[in-house]
Copies of this chain bind each other. A is one copy, B any other.
Amino acid sequence: MKTSNKLGRPAAFDKDAALDVAMRLFWKQGYEGTSMADLSHAMGIHPSSIYAAFGDKQALFALAAKRYIEVPGQYMVRALAEPTFETFIRAAFYNTVEFLGGKEYPASCFTLTGSLSCGVDTEPAKALMLDIRLRNEAVLKARLLKARRAGEFSKEENIDDYTRYLSSLLSGLAVQAANGSTKAQLKRTAELALRHLGIGLLSEG
């Protein structure tokens, strides 16, 4: 597993690039729909080298999920950098539309397509996806609390309820993407959501 070792034969493949391929395949086909043979073929690495470099299938999936969070999943973190509550919400929806409707990655969201349901013996994968979804909700909630402290968010509103509502709106967009919505359609759906939230339209994109 050590990559910084100078002894021995060097690996013939780029570990990050291979992990990126695995992430995309899990994203597209889900944990159960992706076999080690599929992965070996797509990554261009023989199975035993995959096991040597990443561990077993579940470990590889966990690493793919980690990469998902750190690379494409950063779209929500970028929205968090927005200074005000309103610009944050707008950026959250805008970035989500870009993310879901873009061509660089499979449509829909890794945390849903990765494993929404599964057999009893692959539940760790499902639990991992659930964990990420709940973490994202926690991040959203923290931002709402910050907005409340800044006086940008009504004290009448229940933070937990509003968090779940926002989360469900964003998940809804992910399902729309899985349904085949184009980026333009996703954008108009997001615009409707923002309008009903009482927040202005998306900026150009």
Q: Which A positions have Cβ atoms within 8 angstroms of B?
A: 28-30, 32-35, 38, 108, 112-114, 116-120, 122, 130, 133-134, 137, 158, 161-162, 164-165, 167-176, 178-181, 185, 188-189, 192-193, 196-198
Measured CA separation A175–B175 after assembly (Å): 9
Within 8 Å by CB of A172, from B120, B137, B172, B181, lies B172
Apart from A35-B119, A134-B180, what are 11 other A-B pairs with CB-CB below 8 Å?
A30-B116, A30-B117, A30-B119, A114-B117, A130-B179, A133-B175, A133-B179, A134-B179, A165-B189, A170-B172, A174-B175
Residues A116 and B116 in contact, CB atoms below 8 Å apart: yes
Q: Which of A108, A165, A174 has the most CB of B within 10 A?
A: A165
Residues B189 and A176 in contact, CB atoms below 8 Å apart: no
**30 A–B pairs (Cβ distance < 8 Å), ordered by A:** A29-B117, A30-B117, A32-B32, A32-B118, A32-B119, A33-B117, A38-B119, A113-B117, A130-B178, A133-B175, A134-B179, A134-B180, A137-B179, A161-B188, A161-B189, A164-B185, A164-B189, A165-B192, A165-B193, A167-B172, A167-B176, A167-B179, A168-B169, A168-B172, A168-B173, A168-B176, A171-B172, A172-B172, A174-B175, A175-B175
Measured CA separation A189–B161 after assembly (Å): 6
**Nearest CB on B from A11, distance (A):** 28
Measured CA separation A188–B165 after assembly (Å): 9
